[in-house]
Structure 1
Amino acid sequence: MQRFKQDSFTKEPFGKSHSMNLHKRRARSPHTVTVFVHGLNGSGYGTWKAWPKILFDGQGEFPPTDVAMFYYPSLFKAACRLQLGANIDLQAQQLADHLQELSEEYDEIYLVAHSLGGLVAEAAVSTYLNKLGMRERDSLPVSPIAAIFLMASPLGGSGKALLLFSVFRDVRRLRLLSEEQARYAQFFNSYVQVQCLASEGNYRFIVPRFAGIATLDVAVSPTSASGSIPGEQRRQFRGTHFSVVKPKSPMDPQHTWLMASIRDVQEMRAQWHRNAKQKKLATVLQDDSASDIFITQLESERRKSAWDIIYNRVRAEASTSYVDVLDYSHVKAGTKVDLLIAVNRASGVIEGTQMSKQLVVGAVEAFESGATASVGICPVGEERIEAEAEVNNWLPSRVKNKFYIEGANDDEGIGEVIGGWIDALLHRHPSRQSNRSHQNSLRLPYDAYEEAEEL
């Protein structure tokens, strides 16, 4: 690997024995690096045009980051070296070796791969993770490989390419349901959580995969480019198979999508580390007498969604060096919940859907059984006021005025509502007693909590 320290991105020739150029910021030491992997018959720099420079230099709200360019001769470029195409397995091994080297100096590695480069990148990542798992049995699910962005990559093969140049071995790699692709797909399906979620579930690693799809692509169909990528992690861009990886400015949709997705991944990784820390803290929770640890639980119509991310962020922000707010999943079964939070759609409440009613019924049962000390119900949507009134109508008279009922206009408002309830928990409920009643709708300023505590 060749390293170049620069103030502004400048292309550098690849050495005869080097397949990667690393461009490092001279004035700072970023914790992240973006690796570019070109496609069939592509070039280390030409495939991407201005995109590496846009990332490296940074503009406006987008911070600069180091970039690494990976090059391997393929198709006609390989033919010039008297080779019938690239040896993909060999190139993947070389890239995996580079990833190992990068992981020693970067906390987060993002791969942006085009076309055939997506298959090379996934083969390299599976090789890297396999070795990591064997070498470090206790390696974390959030490894230095942070995410993979597959731009117009034939995850399901490309029959059109085979019709033209089937004599080349790298082109044959693109055939539908090839054995090699099936092998790597099996690895990701079995061991890697590809959704951008902080909980790894039954998977060994967390590496979110994103797909960029070109609407005018005649080489790779939208179905093939989508593969098994989660729907919310796919994005269509107007452009051809080649232009989709050539944004001209930081405001082009490809770049803004990339940066927004990276921010989501960074939040997910931070949340995973917070969860891991809190799981360790939870081991000290022996009974309900620990007044510096509070337990909350989220129930909603949308499991593993943006609402979970908002809830976890607010819960983490409320935790300090003196107080920890743990999620119910982090403590032993049967531990009493201090605050049960039910979030549902305002429209669902007004329509009286079974799911919305069940959330409220479940909250009432948890409160009356003593499983939770307090309950907050938050209908989300422009009809929140009407939905608040409807929730009140569903509540039995014996629990009315004992729940927090406060809606939010949109997802952004959910954080403010939940934050207010957790503030009330920390300031009004330090001894974790469950016999205090709560206001029907909590809209007190922070100072009011301080006054309430003094009372």
Structure 2
Amino acid sequence: STETKVLSISGSDLSEVDIPAGYHILVEPFKVSCTEGELYKMTVSVPDNYGNIEALTCKGGFCTPTQVAKVSTLVCGEEVKSTTREMDVIDPELLKIDVEERDITLSELETSLASGDINIQFHGEAFENLNVKLSRVKEDVAEAANTQLKIVGAPVELEFSGKASGNVTITLPYSDITNIEPDTLGIYVKTDGNWDHLGGITDAEKKVVTVTSDISEYLGDDNKAIFAVMGIICVYCYGSELESVYEPTFASRDAIVLIHGLGSSPETYKEIIDDIRVTEQPFKVYTFGYPTSHTINQTAVELADHLESRSSEFDNLYIVAHSMGGIITQKALYNSWIKNSEAIQYTFVNKTKRVVLVGVPNEGSPVADFYTKIYDILVNSQSDYPLFNMNSNLVKALAKRSVTPRVPGINYYVVAGTKNVAIGTGALAISTEDLFGEPSDGFVSTTSATNVGEEYLRDRCRNYWEIDTTHTGLLDDAAARTTIERIISEDIINRDPELVSILGHNKYFDLVIESCSPDDTYVVIGKELPKSAVVDLTGCLCGNGVCGEGEDQFNCAVDCVSLFGGKRFVVSLKVMAILAAFAALLLIGSIAFVEHVHHRKNWIYIKLYHYTSGILRLGNYIDLKIKGSATRMYRALRNIYVHLVSKRGVSLKQAYALYYDLRTNYRRLAELIIKWPLIKLNLLKFNRNYHIVRKLALAGRIAQAELAYAGLRDTYVRLSQLPLKDKKISHIFGKTEHSYHLVVQAYEKYYLKAPHAAFDSLAKEIYNNVKADDFAKAKSNYNKLLKLYHSISELAISKSQIESHYAQTQKVYEHIEDSYLHNIVSKKTAEFNSHIKEIKKALHRHDYASAKSAYKKLLVTYDWFNDNKHFDKSKKAYQDIKDNLKHYKERVKLEKFADALKQLNNAVRNNDIEGAKKAYAELVSKYKAFIDEKKGHELYGKVFAAYRKLYTRYVKMLYNQQLTKFNSCNNEIIELLRKHQIAKAKDAYRSLRQSYLSMIDLAVKDVESLTEKVSRIEHSIEKAALKYDLAKLGKEAEEINVVISQGKLTEAKRMYQKMMKDYKHLLSSKVSERMKRKAYEITDKIYLMLKK
């Protein structure tokens, strides 16, 4: 059944299970309460020091094998928090943002288009006389390919009547940003099916994003463009959290904390958490999630505080930290340890036993600077790279070196990836191998990962492991996951060696029950393996002299190449099926079948050879064919076994032993079946290289023949290592090798006859190139001459004449090279001087942007002089220009500060509160830039004095605004109390109190009088409310009196109960004794009337 069902499993009697010799019970016999005849699949966990795993189905003392298949991952239990969206397309109607269709013809007066909160502003004369239409996208819109990005605003479409170019300022609203990191909101435009990031400034109060960009870059052939607001999905957007995700069945004082990396979430640890949960490991497990908007130090403090708050729950702590999580972990531990030296504040530090750092960029990562260049590629691809806020504090820190000292008493371990990553596809593909220049996981180099506390952890398989996977694969790759789990659980194994199912030391198998019955008993068995043969995905056991489980001649040739020696033989798939059937039927007396096989063996081999050669040309089809044939062979063996039992020719025990012998032989032969395509492939390569060598050597193409001969020798070595007893191959190779050497000798003699002809031809070409002033061709021909010279040297031919000819040609070439370099230097000098003039002109007309652009060109030319050591006067000129640019930059900054100061002054003079707020914020940022660069400068001191004066006026203006609002609310409250509108008076009081708090924040002088006035107003409201309640009580008494006079006693009782609730509410308030007595008299009078 494909649906998930909960099955009841119970223990069973062991007496009815007959275990073959050499096997041990790994999962105790059990029964399943299932529906008769249905298909079920369950996952079982067994220790990794057992092999040949089998499952038996037993009933009435008779057992048959049940299919088991090894798996590497588990899927069950509750999901940890995810960080991706659920839909790949979005219906614009679902986004609750109204977009009314608008269209205008742009002119000098009409330069903008608006609909609700959407506003499009067009700049420049290029848009005049164009008709533009704004509308909501009516069809479903495809989200970006990267599932970490989500559309949060209704997509809109701009359509022009013709070609448009120029800057456009676009303001778009957004709606629900739950689980969206606010700092990542930006406007994106859809171009050719992809989304391009435009960016923008977010106004959180108005819930809009604004950006300015050139529209011509994004319009299609139909002059249309689609825009939308998007943001990056996050789980811990606003704060960190230490969450418990697993609690063991029995009490445990061991805890694991899993800390994710940048742009990720605890969901990346799902595989490890499932391993712990399903196998019921004796650990408590916590995950730590954090936002990327915080700094590393801030997040480290939060982590330390969270761990300390849970410290009473564990005695031994193990931390696994991935990527940026490793930087945070090291900071948290070291800072807490330093604070403990003064006074013990963090008890969890001494409880921390091991820290596993997985792909941690301790020395920074070049990808951090490179990230903004590839952001659009990542948006439009299902990349291994996560998306994260390019402007966040953690991303900025990622580019910097952050090596934290180790904490004494804690053991550190490093797991690093070594698999290169290609970012993007096609022509846009970028390889991370070019970024690092050394092994890396695509994000972090091995050098950066191993630098822990200024010491490199490089002791392989003790405190350092290399895994062939990418940065994100370090947590779900089977080898990486097992390595991390074993590091954590090693302490527990040392304390209790009897534990058989400990983390990282077990294997998982899917048990498939094809036809389930509640009466059947199931048991899982296996053979114990020596410690040296236990499966090891990291390769640490390779070289111990034992070909263990999972090792073969390709991943561990030093241990396993001997397995393919003389003890084993290779036959074809059909032949093995016949041999297996022959062995089984021999036991039940099928002598005739044996003779039949004997007479047809040669014919079968010839047919198989022809068949295999044919399907080798079809590539991967051979793998499917062999696997299918192996399955059919297994079924045949099973049928033979059933036949033996049904005929009762042997006892059940003998039949079962026979079946296991057949299975053992089948497995031994199956290993050779797997190697059969490799044997045939190498045979084909050998024959092909043999013919190529002969043809090339006879044709005199010695260089190509050498390459083909190397391939021939390589396939010969491979064939000699495979289990193949074919003397013909050795004979062919020996013959080919002899022929090859004969051809080489003949070719050398041919070369001796015409050495001058080849040199003369190339030398003439070089002289012609010199006359034509074509240095590029001259250099190319010289390189050919050089190769020809060295190839003749390697053939050990007498070459005295060629050497003299070569020396003469070399002198000519050197002369050409000197002339060429002189011309290049002259051109570069002229280019350098041209850039200097361009910069001076730009500075003279105050065009800093043009000056900066010309400076970049100047820098390229200067770098050429520097690389080729032709400084001349360029170094001094370059430094002068650099100083002028710096001085001009300071002037520009000062002018911008003065403009901001002027804007604030105008806003204060005009009582423009919003304008003053914006001008003040900009002024503060400009002033901070000054004090960072020029502390104590006299000019900046004067500017700051003016700034403080304006700030005082600004505060006074804000205070007057709030005071006006305060007085307005006060008058409103008085009027509402006069009209007995208590609820509205309370609302007005809230606005009054808000103005009061705002004035307190501004540190005004008359705080005490304001506080007294607020208290007096509050008291008046409370007093008016009590009077209102008392009057209401009297009114209710009058109504009850009327109802009683009408004889409606039931209605009167109901009204009396309601009046008593209002009476109790009145007594719960701060009411005077006089009012209490009056209220009591009213209620008591009604009570007596009802009683009467």
Q: Structure 1 or 2: larger helix share?
A: 2
**Greater radius of gyration (CA):** 2
The alignment's TM-score, normalised by the length of structure 1, stands at 0.44
